[in-house]
Amino acid sequence: MTQLLNGKVALITGAGGGVGRAYALLLASEGCAVVVNDLSVTPEGEAAEPGAHLADNVVAEIRAAGGLATADHGDVSDPEQARAMVARAVNEFGKLDILVNNAGIFRERPFAEMSWDDWTAIIDVHLHGSFLLSQMAFQLFVEQGHGGVIVNTASRTALRGKELQANYAAAKGALISLTQTIALEGKTHDIRAITICPRGLTRGWENAAITSAGPITDELRSRFSLDAPALALLFLVSDLAADITGRTFFASAERISEVRWEQALGLNPTSETTVHDLALSAARNELTYSGAFDANRIS
Ligand SMILES: NC(=O)c1ccc[n+]([C@@H]2O[C@H](COP(=O)([O-])OP(=O)(O)OC[C@H]3O[C@@H](n4cnc5c(N)ncnc54)[C@H](O)[C@@H]3O)[C@@H](O)[C@H]2O)c1
């Protein structure tokens, strides 16, 4: 059977577990050589036990199944280590075609009590790490001359906000805007940029006794399996999605669909428009959404 990504090379960050591991296994099974990056930290970004290299296990799994993979233990938020990840793809596999910025950490705190460290740790890994690697991959794609795909990872939290997640929501929202801009600038170079908001049961969920979806049960595990986010990624990085760029996709076992911000019909102000006209328009649901789109209902 033809493999969808035969001869392609991908760098996937944070691929030692969770969503990233599922991405790496599926892409490798479709003929893609994968640089499996993971810093092996706790969900909050603290150093894990010394000597733990999650990426090595995933590389072993891929190789055992006959695929091509190499491990990288670098930190995506460190410019030199990010550069080394891209260099590893070129040194080991000769090029880079696909970058998936997936590495992530999570620190839930009430907004009023969020420390500077809790803020910067999240922004560094998600936003700064994705910026660094996206820019390095973009430059390499232009140099190589045959295009490429950049995937950034956001969350529904970016579109609707969430209590205790100001740092995470801000980083993820910025990633959607960054990706849209990379897509615009990438068009002339055949570079596509896409955002995926995955949802699936990973260690962050496992660590919680109860989640917003209910207690962790086998039913929940299969309802939020990681197969669907991986399938969505495979489609989006393949040539089957050659026309898709600058868009944001939600991907879970319950639904794979595009999500976006929308603008309400509103009112065209003139020099005669008063603040009371705006109040009247708002009361008539013209200024605001009249129910056609509700970020809280994104599921
Ligand atoms: N699981 C979900 O339902 C869900 C929902 C929305 C968004 N996401 C996003 O999907 C991505 C993957 O999440 P997950 O649930 O699989 O989490 P996870 O904790 O299972 O995996 C994240 C991996 O990233 C690695 N990592 C963290 N910081 C790193 C760094 N600086 N450099 C390199 N690697 C680093 C960790 O060691 C870990 O293995 C994240 O960006 C997350 O925000 C997940």
Atom of ligand 1 nearest to the CA of 43: 19
Q: Given the CA of residue 154, which atom of ligand 1 is nearest to it?
A: 7
Burial label, 242 (beta-carbon count in 10 A; 0-12, 13-18, 19+):
exposed
Give me ligand 1 centre to Cα 7, in Å.
27
Helix (H) or strand (E) holding 54: helix 54-64
Determine the pLDDT at residue 299: 43
pLDDT for 17 = 96
Query: Which domains, and CATH codes, for the chain?
Result: 9-261 (3.40.50.720), 264-299 (no CATH)
Distance 105 CA to ligand 1 centre (A): 6
Half-sphere exposure of residue 213: CA atoms within 13 angstroms, side-chain side: 18
Provide the whole-model pTM. Answer: 0.95
Active site residue 23: no
Successive 10-residue mean pLDDT values, the chain, 299 residues? 94 98 98 98 89 93 98 98 98 98 96 98 98 99 98 94 96 98 98 97 75 79 92 98 98 94 87 96 82 48
- pLDDT score of 50: 76
Residue 228: CB partners within 8 Å, gap ≥ 6? 200, 251, 252, 253, 254, 256
